[in-house]
A = this chain, B = another copy of it.
């Protein structure tokens, strides 16, 4: 099927585009290369030597015999171009990764808050409006985040998107299904909760078929497809803004730094391997909701861990030390997290666990490219609010 992958040059977008192409779909990447430009701004580079998009696409064509299209277009700003592209390509599905996706980056300053809000919300609205405008029946698949849920209620398993509640009425308690109440922890996460309201409205008003995937923290770097040629290699971010907690631990271990745990490290997070991410995207694309169905929401994660347990796992493999620092984020030090994620399992997903996959990250990525690391970029330097910044300053 013909598929547009918006943000198809990014960390999740690129391997997803390759995987969909490998499965025989006809893929066109739409990307304004904003993620590479943010690297320029932050004066940091992917640890892995990612190649320019044209080199990537040529390499894919060489090793697979398949071609992927590319259009440099700013989703959220260049509306007519997006609409024209949809009208001419007539895709059956659009996968939407075209959002700024780092919580710390979204909290750095007013400029970064404003960019994240402006970029993410206009991008999502433009895609939906263009689908309606085109008059075509296009399935939209969007990358959401587990962060839309906040951190749940004690004793409760976070459901897949919808919550059954009881409401007091004049006729007694009534059952009702609602979108899970949002409690975002950063500007970035907030935009994803606002995206849900776009989806709810366009689905209700225009019957757009939509799948929203609430993803956990992605770990791992390579997929079956990105391994096929050195030029296809995927991003590995280790900096304080874009590096996930796991990547920063891996990097710290590789360059003989202690692993820095924020607060007590009792924060529980949901995880998924990048190989499972691309498989989930494929499953979502190939299993669309029916016309007239509500927004399909699936939790795209496979296991949960506490941050301090992750640190211990990596310390055990690498011999690194663990140290605790004050937390720049405005969040609880300890939280439980129980998440329903049966839908993808029922569609056939066979998860890769941290226990089995972590060693490859240590040897094939972190140690192999350690000489490309800029050590000054590892610490997290975005503070969530005035209090968290003051706490850090007092500690110094």
Residue contact B153 to A174, C-beta cutoff 8 Å: yes
Residue contact A121 to B194, C-beta cutoff 8 Å: yes
Interface residues of A in 164-179 (CB under 8 A from B): 164-171, 173-174, 176, 178-179
Find chain B residues with CB under 8 A from A167 CB.
Answer: 153, 156, 163, 165
Residue contact B153 to A125, C-beta cutoff 8 Å: no
Residue contact A205 to B122, C-beta cutoff 8 Å: no
Please tell me which one of the listed residues B83, B155, B174, B187 contacts residue A201 in the complex, with CB atoms under 8 A apart: B187
Distance A176 CA – B155 CA, assembled complex (angstroms) = 13
Q: Which residue of B lies closest to A112 (CB)?
A: B129
Distance A132 CA – B113 CA, assembled complex (angstroms) = 11
Residue contact A181 to B184, C-beta cutoff 8 Å: no
Shortest CB–CB separation between residue A343 and chain B, in angstroms? Answer: 20
Interface range for A? 35 or more
Given A156-B167, A167-B165, the answer on whether A181 and B182 have CB atoms closer than 8 Å is: no
Residue contact A197 to B193, C-beta cutoff 8 Å: yes
Residue contact B184 to A190, C-beta cutoff 8 Å: no
A178-215 vs B, CB cutoff 8 Å, 1 = contact: the mask equals: 11011110010010011001101100111000000000
Q: Which residue of B lies closest to A193 (CB)?
A: B197
Find chain B residues with CB under 8 A from A79 CB.
Answer: 110, 114
Residue contact B122 to A110, C-beta cutoff 8 Å: no
Distance A163 CA – B187 CA, assembled complex (angstroms) = 24
Interface pairs A-B: 5 shortest CB-CB = A155-B169, A178-B181, A165-B165, A155-B170, A166-B166
Q: Which residues of A approach B to under 8 Å, CB–CB? A: 79, 83, 110, 113-114, 117-118, 121-122, 125-126, 129-130, 132-133, 135, 153-156, 163-171, 173-174, 176, 178-179, 181-184, 187, 190, 193-194, 197-198, 200-201, 204-206, 330, 384-386
